[in-house]
């Protein structure tokens, strides 16, 4: 699952509905979204979200019942982390965290001692 690339506009609406309701079948999501889209489109979108790893599903009679793999806030955290990692990896930001992360614990201890010694002096 890539949380950054995961959602198109309709997928976002469907996930929003799933996060609000907790679980749902294609028929229930179709009813929630005000029948703005065709029932078959909703069914296809739910299946696609399942294949992307965003929804789990289990059989309920003849239909599938879906539920989100991650809660909304966990999904958004994963998205933030994925976006942040990409920005840091591509070197498009400037900052403390980008340039000081190559030090090891021993170096950091030594530097902390140096700073403390200078403070005392």
Partner 1 sequence: MIPTLGAFLQTVAVLVAASACGSLAVQPAVAGLRRLRVAPAARADLAVAVAALPAGAVVVVAVAVAFPGALDLLGLVRDHCDEHGGHGHLCLAHPAGAAPSLVAVGALAIAATLLRAARWVAARAAAARDLTALLRLGVRGAEGPDVVRVDGDTVLCHAAGAWAPRVLVSTRLLAGLPPALLSAALAHERAHVERRDVLARDLLAVLGFFAWPGVLSDAAVAWEEAAEEAADAAAAERFGGPLVASALVAVARLSLAPAPASMPIVGARLTRRVRALLDGPLHRPALALSAVPGLLLALVALAALNAEPLHHAAETALHLLFGA
User: For residue 21, which of 63, 58, 62, 71 has the smallest C-alpha distance?
Assistant: 71
Cα dihedral 99, 103, 109, 115 sign: negative
CB of 73 to partner 1, least distance (A): 7
In angstroms, give the least distance from the CB of 82 to partner 1: 9
Rounded Cα–Cα distance for residues 52 and 49 (Å): 5
Q: Is 88 in the site for partner 1 (CB under 8 A)?
A: yes
* Segment contacting partner 1 by CB under 8 A, of 13-21, 31-39, 40-48, 106-114: 106-114
Q: Does 76 bind partner 1 (CB under 8 A)?
A: yes
Helix (H) or strand (E) holding 14: helix 9-21
Enumerate binding residues for partner 1 (CB under 8 A): 4, 73, 76-77, 79-81, 83-88, 90, 92-105, 107-108, 111-112, 114-115, 118-119
């Amino acid at each position: 699952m890539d949380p950054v690339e995961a959602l198109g506009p309709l997928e976002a609406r469907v996930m929003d509905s799933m996060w609000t309701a907790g679980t749902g079948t294609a028929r229930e999501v179709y009813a929630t979204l005000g029948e703005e889209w065709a029932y078959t489109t909703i069914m296809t979108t739910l299946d696609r979200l399942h294949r992307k790893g965003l929804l789990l599903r289990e059989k309920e009679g003849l239909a599938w019942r879906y539920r989100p793999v991650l809660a909304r806030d966990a999904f958004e955290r994963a998205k933030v982390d994925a976006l942040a990692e990409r920005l840091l990896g591509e070197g498009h930001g400037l900052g403390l965290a980008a340039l000081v992360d190559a030090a090891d614990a021993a170096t950091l201890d030594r530097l902390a001692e140096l700073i403390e010694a200078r403070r005392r002096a």
